[in-house]
Amino acid sequence: MTQGIEGKVVVITGASSGLGEAAVRRLAHDGAKLVLGARRLERLQALAEELSLGTDAVVQTDVTKFEEVKRLVDHAVKLHGRIDVIINNAGLMPHSPLERCKVEDWNRTIDVNLKGVLYGIGAALHYMKQRKSGHIINVSSVAGHKVNPGGAVYAATKHGVRVISEGLRQEVKPYNIRTTIISPGAVATELPDSITEPDFAENVKAFYDRIAIPANSFASVVAFAMSQPEDVDINEILFRPTRQEY
């Protein structure tokens, strides 16, 4: 499935672990030119070294700061002359009932899951419009389609990613830019570790331990969307473990 992937310049946020790391491994295998962003620089550097990506392939990036996301994308363009794909993947999931008023968690969730996606779009779109070519992949969630008690704010951000992505899809049609929303269900990552409420953390982790599928399932979905011919625009993929009811 390297057709449509080999040689493409791909920027990935949240690349140091989980879904992002799995996508890095798959796309590196398929011959993409990768530029990786995440807050944990040491993990990024270790991953880049393991995959022989080069020291220039990593940029420490906090997606809640537009100037850092822009620096990541600008670096990719400076290094490779263009950006073909951005995968806005960074996210967190601090579930809690609204009545507990976890304002700090609410703000972090909105800043990372929603503003982080907007910043990635904003940083990449100028370059893609100039070339009239590009692919923006935004990571939503099953929670962008459904909501459970305790997950209202998380679900709101992930639904917001879908809304933003659909608006983007329509706006970029004159520029030959493709857009994809990927909505995973329970995939084995560090995401449940971002839950700060012990009772919810315990329940979610038990749920993930029971049914979560490997992160390379996400990487396969990314590769599928990217490998389509230029005139095929895969706009949304929702996938779950076969056993997941929610």
Is there a domain that residue 241 lies in? no
At position 114, the amino acid (one-letter code) is L
At 131, which helix (H) or strand (E)?
helix 116-131
Residue 82 lies in a domain: yes
Query: 154 catalytic, yes or no?
Result: yes
How far apart are the two ends of the chain, measured CA to CA in Å? 30
Let me know if residue 108 belongs to a domain. Answer: yes
The domain total for the chain is: 1
pLDDT score at 201: 86
CATH code of residue 215: 3.40.50.720
Predicted TM-score of the model (pTM): 0.95
Q: CA-CA distance, 147 to 159, in Å (whole number)?
A: 10
246 residues of the chain, pLDDT tens digit each:
467 899 999 999 999 999 999 999 999 999 999 999 999 999 999 999 999 999 999 999 999 999 999 999 999 999 999 999 999 999 999 999 999 999 999 999 999 999 999 999 999 999 999 999 999 999 999 999 999 999 999 999 999 999 999 999 999 999 999 999 999 999 998 888 888 989 988 988 998 999 999 999 999 999 999 999 999 999 999 999 999 998
**Catalytic entry in 154, 175, 208, 246:** 154
Burial class (CB in 10 A: 0-12, 13-18, 19+), 31: exposed
Residue 84 lies in a domain: yes
Is 232 a domain residue? Answer: yes
Q: Is residue 3 one of the residues assigned to a domain?
A: no
| CA neighbor of 154 nearest in space, from 126, 199, 119, 191 | 191
Which residue range forms the structural domain that includes residue 139?
9-236
Residue 94: burial class (beta carbons within 10 Å; 0-12, 13-18, 19+): buried
pLDDT computed for residue 246 by the predictor: 87
Amino acid code (one letter) for 223 = A
User: Has residue 246 been placed in a domain?
Assistant: no
4 occurs within a structural domain: no
The residue behind tokens 């409420």 is 197
Q: How far apart are CA 207 and CA 183, in angstroms?
A: 18
pLDDT for position 192: 85
Residue 202, helix vs strand vs coil: helix
Distance separating alpha carbons of residues 60 and 208, to the nearest angstrom: 29
- Ordered strands of the 33-38 beta sheet: 58-60, 33-38, 9-13, 85-88, 134-139, 177-184, 236-239
**Are 189 and 145 within 8 A, CB to CB?**
no
